[in-house]
Each structure stands twice: as structure tokens, then as C-alpha cells.
Chains A and B, each alone.
Chain A
Amino acid sequence: MVDYFLETFSEITWLASSPNLSFVLAVTLAGLPIFLFMALNALIAVYAERKISAFMQDRLGPMGQGVGLHAGKWGILQTVADAVKLITKEDIIPATADRKLFIIAPFILFTASFTAFAAFPFNEYLVAADFNIGLFYILAMGSVGVIGIILAGYSSNNKWSLYGAMRSAAQIVSYEIPAGLSLLSVIMLSGSLAFRDIVAAQTGTTLAILPNWFILDNPFTFIAFWIFFVAGVAEVNRTPFDLPEAESELVAGWMTEYSGMRWSFFFLAEYANMFIVAGVASLLFLGGWLSPIPGYLEGNLWGIFWFISKVSFLIFVMMWFRWTFPRLRTDQLMRLCWKFFLPASFVTIIGVGIWDLFVR
């Protein structure tokens, strides 16, 4: 989209004379929808999470009669009310906190997920910045977020926060390895780091009727998908890997001292990260914007629809995890990563290579 805007601006004479201004304008125009999308995503995901958890737990969740200040019919406006509450809350910075870092930390985390969104294709054309290394870029940006978490935990000057930050750092750094390795198998098959090429490699059918998605390509990619998805859940700190914020142990982990607007940035980033993990999984393994019935219901708008529904399904699975499983312990978490996921992801790489060379 940035390229598209730049092209358009070069035809406008007064803008063409100042390339810097036109670049800034183009980036802003491309970034604003992403920001709005992130906010909307959090809004819908929080509502969905509340309702899904409620239905899983034999409750109704947020409800209202749609009159006056109630939260709308079926509590649809509940998250809006929450957002208003968060924005209007008193901004508290603990007296003993490291003020500067305390203020910066939420923005680093938020910026990391925001910039990751920049390379996210919603269909073949709708992407803010079309890289040829989009996948690599998103993975890299995903790891920047952990700096925000560590800063938040450190600057709060609170023992719970510190524990949460240390757990989070260890967890994210560890789980990035199996996540990255499991993606290598897809890269081997598609031969590219650009999402456009990866998705293009998944067109057509396999076994006569099934779509030719990488998850169905061979047994090893099927395993790789699950490794990536579970490692991704661990990277976004959700149950059963929510140790950094483990509410029953660490009160609220690294965000114990945060409240109001700053806390809502963490919240926004969490749901954005869920979207990113689910999005990468669906782009790489589930055919991205491709229709599940090859040859039917295709086109640009259908592409957006298919992509969003695949992502939503994966986010739903994450919520399903959260409301079903207990939490792991730190050492069990590490054991799972280093003793099971890491060897398994190596096996998938070798397996995919052998499969591609000999079986196909």
C-alpha cells in the first residue's frame, strides 16, 4: 500500500517535489487503517473471549437490555465500556518506579506488534508494505516485543513484575526457536520468504479434492503446523503458557503495576499478537487467502473473508485452550520446549527435505 500511495503522490506535482513529505504521508495513510484494525481486533476479540469463556463455563457473559447505560443487547458494547473506563482511569506511576522506562515500555511492546502488522497481507494486494522477506520481518518484530515486557517488569520495581518479566523473557526466547524452525519446512517447500509466493505455492488441489495447503502437503508439515501453533501460543503468553502473568501466582506478572491507558496498550498488543500468530499460521499452513474449495468463491473480497475466518478459527482455538487447560510450571515449560519441540522441529525439517526429494 505504501508503494501504491507513493506512486499516486508522484503524479501530484506539489507532493512530488518533496519526497520526504510524500513518504511520511504514504506511511501514515497505510498505518492508520492498521491501527484501527488492531483496535477493532482487540474490541471484537475481547468480546468474543468473554462470550466464549462464558458459554464454556455455563454462564451468559456480559448481558444487557439495550436500554440506557447498559452494555447493549447481549452485552455487545461491553468492551466499548471497558475501553472508555480504561481511558478515563487515573494514570498511576509508582513512586519507586523508573519513570522513563515505565512510560516507554508499553509503547515498545505495542510498536512491535504494530510494525509486524505492516507486512501482513490480508489478500493478495491488501498489504501495507510488501516485502520479499515478510515472514522473516514478522518473526523479527515478534521478538522485539519481549524488550517491552522486560522493561515493564524491570522498571516497575516490583518483585512480581520482575518474576513475570524474567519468565517471559526466558519463555519467548526459548519458544522462538521451535517456532522458527518449524516454519523452515514451509520455506523449503515454497522457496521464498515472501507471503505472496508462499501462498501462491499453495494453490491447486492435493489428493484430488483437498486444497493444496502446506498443512496437508505431507505428514511432516502437519506436525510442523502444530509445533508452530503451540509455540506461538507460548510466545503470546496465553494459557497454558501464561506463566509471565500467572494471576494466581504472580498477581499479574509483569503488568502488576500498570493500570489505565498503559495497561490497555499491553492488552491491545496481546490480542494483536494473537492475530499475528494465527495469521502467520494460516498464511503458511492453511493457504492464507485461498478458498478451502479450490476454484470456488475466489476473488479479492473472498480472499479477505477466508483469511479472516481462518485467523478467527485459530484464535478461537487459542481461547479454547485457555479456558480448558491449567498452567504449566517454569521448568515443565522449558522441558517441553527444549526436549520435545526442538527435536521435533528438526525432525520436521529433515523429514520435509527427504519427502520432497524422494517421496514426491
Chain B
Amino acid sequence: MGVVIEQELGTVHGDEMILNIGPQHPSTHGVLRLKVHTDGEIITQITPYIGYLHRCFEKHCENLTYEQSIPYTDRCDYIGSMNNNFGYAVAVEQLMETKVPEKVEYMRVIVAEMNRIASHLLALGTFGLDVGAFTPFLYCFRDRERILDLFEMLCGARLLYNYIWIGGVSHDFPVGWVEKTYEFLDYFEPKINEYNDLLTYNKIFIERSADVGVIPADVAISYGVTGPNLRGSGVRWDLRKDDPYGIYDRFEFDIPIGTGAMGSVGDCWDRYYVRVRELEECVKIIRQALDALPRDGDVHAALPKKIRPKAGHVYSRTESPRGDLGYYIASDGSDIPSRIKMRSPAFTALSCLNEISRGWMISDVIAILGSLDIVLGEIDR
């Protein structure tokens, strides 16, 4: 063998084998490397190695003005870009004490929830793919495609939008967009049952996901697991309800939580099903927001001429499709932030992988990873 591979092996017991899953692997959802100690197919220890997608987001932000950082937030969580823009804009507005127009608030909620649907669809589809079901993945993509088409109509981009700006949004809704969105909602709502028929209540799927990778509520909280993963563990916690930002306190919607319907509370199936149920809630919110959307108003009215917050710092958090998305922004009074830290929900969710997947099989680890819905762009930043 020509090349000697050096590796930090750690303690290896007699019957153990070390298996490297990734960085290039079909179901690591990006470039994640898992060093897995296995005894046969059973996992005894699992160490995630991240950073393969590190693009120095935080260092970049310290060299750019506040508004220039927005496209970088897109690229962190490229599945839920709108929500990342939203979180960043909310944080800077909080620092600057800006008040955004009523219409903009509604528009932000609409696009953020649309993006949440798109993100959850991807999560459901790829989870199906991870346990071996190929068709639901393409069904999900078919419907996600329609959301991306709507976004393309809205701002020209399909993945990285740079749509929500500090103090406003980049474009007003184009003519006909609202009607098309209503059309989409009418089309989409019955499709949720289709996913349920095809995947959710499939016996094999339940066998594969129920009782697997259980995260008890206290472990979830201790590991900082948030969003649908935490709600899957039976904790009714959603920032949109419990610490509302924007105008989320005006909408009527439920917070679905895991009930252990197929196994125990906090298993992969619960996390999956919370996402399915959230699709319905998102549709509810979008409908209410579209109904109440003010027809006129300038979306650029509150855009600050110069973004120069006074010295100080803020920690603001919003509910992204993956959970608590926090931005810690420290300002020194200039137009360039002195520190921006992004608290990524997928980062914390991945950190509990070792805790919940010990003792399961290789196939289960893939399923658990899929059910956590991680995006490596956001973990590595």
C-alpha cells in the first residue's frame, strides 16, 4: 500500500471495526464524516467530524456592512434561505430598533412559511430516501418545485433569495402572485394525504422509524435540540408561539408534537410526523396572512439609508425550519459589525447523534441522521 493513512483511532476493542461514513456518502446530506465504531452492525460509538463546508461566514461578516451579509446568510442554510434572511433581518432590526411596515411583516411571514413548507418537503423526501423509499422523494420534489417557481417569480432566484432585507423586502409581490399562491395552497393541501398514504403509514416505514433513535425530552433540551426535533420529543415549544417575533402572535395555528403514536415519544417517526403535521399548520398560517395582507404600501419605505446601529449587542432568535436560529450581533457603532455569530439549529441537533444512536445498527444511524434533518451548510457555516 503506497499511502499510509494516519488516523486518530482512539480505543478500539477486540471485535470492533472502525467505519468511516462520509465525507462522500449518499446519505450524509452534504459533506459530513462520521467515524463509527461498530461491533458487527451494531454501533458502539459514533464521532461526527464537521467543517468540510466551512466557508468562514462569521469572518466574512466582520468585513462586510450589515446589508452585505444577507446573501451570506442565504448560503448557510440553503434549504430554508428565506428563514435565514428573516432571522438576520429581525436581529439587525432589533439592534437598530427599526419598525417595519405592516405589509412587509405579512409578506415576510408568507414567504418564510412557504420556505418552511419547501424545507420540510425536502426533509420528508430525503428521510424516505434514507430508509430506502425512492418515490416519496420525487413526490416531495414535485411540490417543492412549485414553491420554487413561485419564489422565482417573486425575486428571480430559486434557491438563494436575498429577499428579506433589513427594514423591508427586496421586491413587492408581483401581479398575480397572491392568486397563484392561493392556487398552490389549494393544490398542495390534499397532497399531504398522498405522502401519508405512500410513506407515513407504510408498515415497513413504521418498522424502520418507530422506536428508533429516541430522544427523551430532557436529553433534547440539554443538547439544545430545537424545532421539529424537540417537538418530536413531546415538548410543546415553538418560538412562533412562545416568544413571537414579527407578527406571528396574530395567527391561529397549532404546534404539533410527538405523541409516540407508533412507538415511543421522540422516535424518528415522531420527528417525521411532526414535520408532516407542520405542513398543514404552515398552510393555515399562509392562508391567514394572505387574507389579511394589506393591498398597498411601499415595501422599501422603512429601508434605512445607512445601517449604523449604536454600540451594543443583541441575541435574537427565530424559528427556522430546523429550529431555533439565533443571531448574536455585536456592534461597535460603525457600519461594520464587530461580531456576528450564528447559532445554527442543525449544529446542536447533530451534536446529540452519538448519544441517541449508540446501540443501533448502521441502517438506523442513517435513518436517525435523516430524521434530524441536518443541513451541513448551516452546521459548518
> Do A and B come into direct contact in the complex, CB within 8 Å?
yes
Show the binding face of A for B, using Cβ within 8 Å. Answer: 53, 56-59, 95-96, 159, 163, 239-240, 242-243, 246-251, 322-332
Least CB distance from B18 to A in Å reads: 9
Cα of A330 to Cα of B361 in the assembled complex, Å: 9
Q: Which among B58-66, B181-189, B202-210, B332-340 touches the partner chain?
A: B202-210
Task: Give residues 127-186 of B contacting A (CB, 8 Å).
Answer: 128-135, 138-139, 142
Cα of A264 to Cα of B8 in the assembled complex, Å: 38
From B2, B25, B199, B362, give the contact of A326 (CB < 8 A). B199
Q: Contact between B129 and A248 (Cβ–Cβ < 8 Å)? A: yes
Cα of A201 to Cα of B363 in the assembled complex, Å: 45
The 10 A-B residue pairs whose C-beta atoms are closest, nearest first, are: A327-B132, A326-B133, A57-B138, A248-B27, A326-B131, A326-B132, A326-B205, A329-B363, A326-B204, A248-B130
**Smallest CB-CB separation from B204: which chain A residue?**
A326
- With a cutoff of 8 Å between Cβ atoms, the chain B residues found around residue A53 in the complex are 134-135
A-B contact list, 7 entries, CB within 8 Å: A53-B134, A57-B138, A246-B132, A324-B133, A326-B131, A326-B202, A327-B133
> By DSSP majority rule, is chain B's interface helix, strand, loop, or mixed?
helix
Cα of A59 to Cα of B208 in the assembled complex, Å: 27
- Contacts A247-B26, A248-B130, A324-B135 given; does A240 touch B362 at CB 8 Å: no
Cα of A33 to Cα of B336 in the assembled complex, Å: 76
Interface string of B204-228 (1 = CB under 8 A from A): 1101100000000000000000000
- With a cutoff of 8 Å between Cβ atoms, the chain A residues found around residue B131 in the complex are 248, 326-327
**Smallest CB-CB separation from B20: which chain A residue?**
A159
Least CB distance from B135 to A in Å reads: 5
- With a cutoff of 8 Å between Cβ atoms, the chain B residues found around residue A330 in the complex are 41, 361, 363
Cα of A96 to Cα of B199 in the assembled complex, Å: 41
**Smallest CB-CB separation from A96: which chain B residue?**
B1
Chain B's interface size range is 20 to 34
- Contacts A248-B129, A249-B362, A251-B25 given; does A327 touch B208 at CB 8 Å: yes
- With a cutoff of 8 Å between Cβ atoms, the chain A residues found around residue B142 in the complex are 58
- With a cutoff of 8 Å between Cβ atoms, the chain A residues found around residue B130 in the complex are 248
Cα of A249 to Cα of B368 in the assembled complex, Å: 12
Cα of A180 to Cα of B352 in the assembled complex, Å: 46
Q: Contact between B204 and A328 (Cβ–Cβ < 8 Å)? A: yes
From B25, B128, B135, give the contact of A56 (CB < 8 A). B135
- With a cutoff of 8 Å between Cβ atoms, the chain B residues found around residue A332 in the complex are 207-208
Most chain B beta-carbon neighbours within 10 Å: one of A56, A58, A95, A325: A325
Q: Contact between B134 and A57 (Cβ–Cβ < 8 Å)? A: yes
Q: Contact between B362 and A163 (Cβ–Cβ < 8 Å)? A: yes
Cα of A323 to Cα of B199 in the assembled complex, Å: 12
Cα of A348 to Cα of B142 in the assembled complex, Å: 44
Cα of A243 to Cα of B361 in the assembled complex, Å: 13
- With a cutoff of 8 Å between Cβ atoms, the chain A residues found around residue B202 in the complex are 325-326
Task: Give residues 1-34 of B contacting A (CB, 8 Å).
Answer: 1-2, 17, 19, 25-27
Q: Contact between A246 and B363 (Cβ–Cβ < 8 Å)? A: yes
**Smallest CB-CB separation from A239: which chain B residue?**
B132
- With a cutoff of 8 Å between Cβ atoms, the chain A residues found around residue B139 in the complex are 57-58
B366 lies within 8 A of chain A by Cβ: yes
Q: Contact between A249 and B27 (Cβ–Cβ < 8 Å)? A: yes
Q: Contact between A248 and B135 (Cβ–Cβ < 8 Å)? A: no
**Smallest CB-CB separation from A327: which chain B residue?**
B132
- With a cutoff of 8 Å between Cβ atoms, the chain A residues found around residue B133 in the complex are 324-327
Least CB distance from B133 to A in Å reads: 4
- With a cutoff of 8 Å between Cβ atoms, the chain B residues found around residue A159 in the complex are 17, 19
Cα of A322 to Cα of B135 in the assembled complex, Å: 9
- Contacts A246-B363, A249-B362 given; does A329 touch B135 at CB 8 Å: no
Cα of A58 to Cα of B137 in the assembled complex, Å: 11
Q: Contact between B134 and A329 (Cβ–Cβ < 8 Å)? A: no
Interface string of B360-371 (1 = CB under 8 A from A): 011110100000
- With a cutoff of 8 Å between Cβ atoms, the chain B residues found around residue A247 in the complex are 26
Cα of A248 to Cα of B364 in the assembled complex, Å: 11
Least CB distance from B128 to A in Å reads: 7
**Smallest CB-CB separation from A322: which chain B residue?**
B134
